Protein backbone atom coordinates (compact mmCIF):
# COMPACT_ATOMS: atom_id res chain seq x y z
CA UNK A 1 0.00 0.00 0.00
CA UNK A 2 1.40 3.41 -0.88
CA UNK A 3 2.17 5.55 2.16
CA UNK A 4 0.38 8.89 1.84
CA UNK A 5 3.29 10.68 3.52
CA UNK A 6 5.44 10.08 0.46
CA UNK A 7 5.04 11.50 -3.02
CA UNK A 8 5.30 8.64 -5.41
CA UNK A 9 5.39 10.87 -8.43
CA UNK A 10 7.26 14.14 -8.67
CA UNK A 11 6.48 15.53 -12.06
CA UNK A 12 4.06 14.04 -14.53
CA UNK A 13 1.72 15.45 -17.07
CA UNK A 14 -0.75 13.95 -19.45
CA UNK A 15 -0.77 15.65 -22.78
CA UNK A 16 -4.05 17.40 -23.41
CA UNK A 17 -5.57 20.74 -24.24
CA UNK A 18 -4.71 23.26 -21.58
CA UNK A 19 -1.58 21.64 -20.15
CA UNK A 20 0.23 24.90 -20.79
CA UNK A 21 -2.77 27.17 -20.30
CA UNK A 22 -5.12 28.76 -22.89
CA UNK A 23 -2.62 28.69 -25.70
CA UNK A 24 -5.09 29.63 -28.47
CA UNK A 25 -4.14 33.26 -27.95
CA UNK A 26 -0.50 32.49 -28.92
CA UNK A 27 -1.54 31.73 -32.50
CA UNK A 28 -0.19 33.81 -35.38
CA UNK A 29 -1.29 31.39 -38.07
CA UNK A 30 -4.37 29.18 -37.95
CA UNK A 31 -4.60 25.67 -39.46
CA UNK A 32 -7.48 25.48 -41.89
CA UNK A 33 -8.60 22.04 -43.07
CA UNK A 34 -9.71 21.28 -46.60
CA UNK A 35 -11.90 18.18 -46.19
CA UNK A 36 -11.94 17.63 -49.95
CA UNK A 37 -8.25 16.68 -49.66
CA UNK A 38 -8.22 15.20 -46.11
CA UNK A 39 -7.81 11.38 -46.33
CA UNK A 40 -10.31 10.25 -43.66
CA UNK A 41 -12.84 12.85 -44.76
CA UNK A 42 -12.43 11.91 -48.41
CA UNK A 43 -12.54 8.12 -47.89
CA UNK A 44 -14.97 8.09 -44.97
CA UNK A 45 -12.53 5.79 -43.15
CA UNK A 46 -10.67 6.22 -39.88
CA UNK A 47 -7.29 6.36 -41.58
CA UNK A 48 -4.20 8.60 -41.66
CA UNK A 49 -4.92 10.97 -38.72
CA UNK A 50 -1.29 12.08 -38.68
CA UNK A 51 -2.48 15.53 -37.64
CA UNK A 52 -4.04 13.98 -34.53
CA UNK A 53 -0.92 11.92 -33.84
CA UNK A 54 1.59 14.72 -34.23
CA UNK A 55 -0.25 17.56 -32.52
CA UNK A 56 1.92 18.33 -29.45
CA UNK A 57 -1.04 19.80 -27.62
CA UNK A 58 -3.54 17.09 -28.38
CA UNK A 59 -6.03 19.57 -29.82
CA UNK A 60 -6.92 17.67 -33.04
CA UNK A 61 -9.78 15.17 -32.78
CA UNK A 62 -9.51 11.71 -34.31
CA UNK A 63 -12.73 12.08 -36.28
CA UNK A 64 -13.65 11.32 -39.89
CA UNK A 65 -13.66 15.07 -40.25
CA UNK A 66 -10.87 16.04 -37.82
CA UNK A 67 -11.64 19.11 -35.72
CA UNK A 68 -9.06 21.48 -34.27
CA UNK A 69 -9.78 23.05 -30.91
CA UNK A 70 -8.83 26.66 -31.56
CA UNK A 71 -9.22 27.51 -27.89
CA UNK A 72 -5.90 25.73 -27.31
CA UNK A 73 -4.27 25.38 -30.77
CA UNK A 74 -1.14 27.55 -30.55
CA UNK A 75 -0.63 27.54 -34.31
CA UNK A 76 2.65 25.66 -34.44
CA UNK A 77 1.87 24.26 -37.89
CA UNK A 78 3.14 20.75 -37.27
CA UNK A 79 -0.20 19.29 -38.51
CA UNK A 80 0.13 21.18 -41.80
CA UNK A 81 3.74 20.03 -42.14
CA UNK A 82 2.86 16.39 -41.52
CA UNK A 83 -0.37 16.16 -43.57
CA UNK A 84 0.51 13.89 -46.53
CA UNK A 85 -2.44 15.25 -48.54
CA UNK A 86 -1.59 18.95 -48.05
CA UNK A 87 -5.10 19.34 -46.68
CA UNK A 88 -4.09 21.82 -43.98
CA UNK A 89 -3.12 25.37 -44.76
CA UNK A 90 -1.70 27.78 -42.23
CA UNK A 91 -3.59 31.03 -42.67
CA UNK A 92 -2.58 34.29 -41.01
CA UNK A 93 -4.74 35.22 -38.04
CA UNK A 94 -4.99 38.67 -39.66
CA UNK A 95 -7.64 37.12 -41.87
CA UNK A 96 -9.85 36.26 -38.93
CA UNK A 97 -9.64 39.51 -37.01
CA UNK A 98 -12.62 41.86 -37.29
CA UNK A 99 -11.55 44.65 -39.64
CA UNK A 100 -8.71 42.50 -40.99
CA UNK A 101 -7.62 42.08 -44.60
CA UNK A 102 -10.50 39.91 -45.78
CA UNK A 103 -13.27 41.52 -43.86
Partner 1 sequence: MSEKLIDSGNNAAAMAVQLAAAEVIAAYPITPQTPLTEKLSELIAAGEMDAEYVAVESEHSALGVCIGAASAGVRAFTATSSNGLLYMSEQLHWAAGARLPMVMCVVNRGIGAPWSVWNDHQDAMSQRDAGWIQLFAKDHQEIVDITLKAFRLAELVHIPVMVNYDGYYLSHTYMPFELPDAAAVKEFLPAYEYAHALDPQKPESLNTVTLPDSRNDTNGVKQPGYMDIRHNLHQEMRLAMDVLEEIDADYQQRFGRGGAPILDPYCCEDAEYIVVAMGTIANQFRDVVDRLRQEDGLKVGVLALQVYRPFPTAKIAETLQSAKGVMVYEKGLSYGNQGALYADLKSALYPYPARPQLHNFIVGLGGRDIRTEDLCQTLKTACQQDDLSAPEQTDAPQWIGLQL
As a whole number of angstroms, the longest Cα–Cα distance in the chain is: 62
CA distance 84 to 48: 9
Q: Least CB distance from residue 24 to partner 1, whole Å?
A: 15
Cα dihedral 30, 28, 48, 56 sign: negative
Residue in 4, 5, 36, 99 binding partner 1, rule: CB under 8 A: 5
Q: Could you say whether residue 3 binds partner 1 (CB under 8 A)?
A: yes
Q: Could you say whether residue 8 binds partner 1 (CB under 8 A)?
A: yes
User: Measured from the CB atom, is 2 or 99 closer to partner 1?
Assistant: 2
Tell me how far CA of residue 97 lies from CA of 23, 32, 100, in angstroms. 17, 15, 5
Q: Least CB distance from residue 88 to partner 1, whole Å?
A: 24
Residue in 4, 10, 36, 103 binding partner 1, rule: CB under 8 A: 10
CB-based contacts of 97: which residues, under 8 Å, 6+ apart? 103
Q: Could you say whether residue 25 binds partner 1 (CB under 8 A)?
A: no
Residues that bind partner 1 (CB under 8 A): 2-3, 5-19, 21
Amino acid sequence: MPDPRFKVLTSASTSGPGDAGRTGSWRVERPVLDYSRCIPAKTGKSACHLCWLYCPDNVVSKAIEPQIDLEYCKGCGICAEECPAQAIEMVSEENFVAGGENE
